Structure 1
Amino acid sequence: MGRLAALLHRAKNSHQPRATRRTFLRNVVLGSVGVVALEVAGAFGFLMWPLKTGKFGSTVTIPQDQVPAPDADPYIDREGKFYLINNKEGLLALYWKCPHLGCTVPWNASASEFHCPCHGSVYDRHGVRTAGPAPRPMDLMEVEVDGSGNVKVNTGKITERAAFDPSQAVPYKA
């Protein structure tokens, strides 16, 4: 018991300065601000994190029998959010989002064009703007053809472009 009494005596008579009211309140405010900042950062971090919905953001495989014939209407992949076009130059995977304000651009089969319903942009079979306020052509997704003739579209790799160049198309022979 002698050691405990000595420790208590030393603690009672120590000359450590006590925290002032001002220091205590400053520490409480700084701690509260820190906790709120962490909560806000967590909330915004969650909101800013990209969400993968369905096949979008991954590689989508289209079987050879579903690849459209040359100059036919495009193959539409709703989960991957793209159109697969087969032109004389080859295959193009067009991201279906309008470069103007992000509306979904549907294929108009009777006109063989894409027509944006929001602001009237019109795109040809290559995704090149022919009318409307869009600043550039539709974006492309990366396309590969495997040895069996199946088409792989990487929906996670989207490329902006200024114009159509035949080298953007991937050659395809069914």
Structure 2
Amino acid sequence: SDQLDAESVVKDSDGSYWIALYQRCVHLGCTVPFRDNCVSFKCPCHGSHYNVTGEFLDGPAPRSLDRFALSLNGEDVVVDTATLNNKVPHPDQTTRLIAPPSVACSV
């Protein structure tokens, strides 16, 4: 199952969680924009679909989006763009952190 691990997720002093996603589809490397109408990320190249935490929803991608390592430095959230967590597993319907969006999402 996908987990909010300390390496790729931080919680700041006001209780907000931060995740830094690498917006490249793990299928073929296309840029994956956030789609407001879907409240998710959708790859325009081949249709892979990811929720707001980068978890795979559907499409040809083999797994969830990669995440950058994060840390807290006082009140600042620091994103380490040199360190990718590409071990975020392919979640199944029973272990998904956030349910798939209830709205239809077209490319």
- Is TM (by shorter chain) over 0.5? yes
Normalising by the smaller structure, the TM-score range is 0.5 to 0.7
Is residue 2:47 matched to residue 1:150? no
**Larger RCO: Structure 1 or Structure 2 (Cα < 8 Å, ≥ 6 residues apart)?**
2
Q: C-alpha offsets along residues 90-147 of structure 1, whole Å, 9 cap, x if unaligned? A: 2111111100000000000121100100000010011011111000000010011111
Secondary structure in 1 matching 2:65: coil
TM-score by length of 2: 0.66
Query: Over aligned residues, Cα RMSD in angstroms?
Result: 2.3
Gaps of 5+ in 1: 1-63, 71-85, 166-174
One of 65, 72, 83 as aligned partner of 1:138: 65
Q: Which residue of 1 aligns with 2:32?
A: 105
* Offset at residue 163 of structure 1 (A): 4.3
One of 76, 91, 103 as aligned partner of 2:18: 91
Percent of aligned pairs with the same amino acid: 38
Q: Which residue of 1 aligns with 2:5?
A: none
Alpha-carbon distance in structure 1 between the residues aligned to 2:46 and 2:59: 7
Contact kept? 2:40, 2:50, Cα under 8 Å:
yes
Larger radius of gyration: 1
Contact kept? 2:25, 2:31, Cα under 8 Å:
yes
Q: Which residue of 2 aligns with 1:44?
A: none
More helix as a share of residues: 1
TM-score by length of 1: 0.42
